[in-house]
Amino acid sequence: MHKLNAMVIAATLFSVSAVAGENLATGSWHQDDIANRCGDSHHSMFEGVRLTEHQRQQMRDLMSQARLDIPRISVSEIEQLHALVTAETFDEPAVKAQVEKMAQQNVIRQVELAKIRNQMYNLLTPEQRQTLSQKHQQRLAELASQVSEMSPSSAQKPVQSATLK
């Protein structure tokens, strides 16, 4: 249950940052610098890919439409979860119901965002797709390294003091 809560809260926060990052996509575009304008706040899906002006315009159009199609994050749902977490007594069934409701809303948002990203990906040339694939492999390697650094097996084990006889 604790892992589910942590995952949903993390996913919600990630979703908030992803949507915020996606909203930047329709802003002003710097030539060859899509990295700071599209995708989530950590890494842009199109980071390092040189886009034509026509491709950038098509992506802006897709994001403009996505703004209308993607369900908004409900601040009231987050407030309700916060109220449950900070209550005098812990109501596990209520928390579970709220977390599941938020998770379902997040799934819907993530599917819509994936659909838009797929449409954007299909605007790329084969060369751009190859560059994107290489960048993706680099990010996966970085992520794997970060995950292995955070795992308990890589953490220093406490030194056990010797017992005196």
The pLDDT score that the predictor gives to residue 45 is 81
Per-residue CA distances from 53 to 58, 131, 151 (Å): 9, 18, 43
Within 25-125, where are the H helices? 53-69, 75-85, 92-121
Region class of 160: left (phi > 0), else alpha (psi between -120 and 50), else beta: beta
Q: Is residue 157 part of a domain?
A: no
Q: Is residue 156 part of a domain?
A: no
The pLDDT score that the predictor gives to residue 42 is 32
- From the list 144, 143, 120, the residue with the least C-alpha distance to 132 is 120
Q: Is residue 54 part of a domain?
A: yes
Look at the block and give the residue holding tokens 């995950």: 147
- From the list 136, 143, 70, 140, the residue with the least C-alpha distance to 107 is 70
Structural domain span for residue 80: 2-132
54-111 tens-digit pLDDT: 999 999 999 998 888 888 888 999 999 999 999 999 999 999 999 999 999 999 999 9
Q: Is residue 142 part of a domain?
A: no
58-71 tens-digit pLDDT: 999 999 988 888 88
Task: Write the CATH number for 22.
Answer: 1.20.120.1490
| Residues 6 or more apart in contact with residue 94 via CB below 8 angstroms | 84
Q: How many domains does the chain have?
A: 1
Q: Is residue 153 part of a domain?
A: no
Give the angle 9-14-16 at the CA atoms, nearest 5°: 95
The pLDDT score that the predictor gives to residue 117 is 93
Query: For the chain, what percent of residues have pLDDT higher than 70?
Result: 66
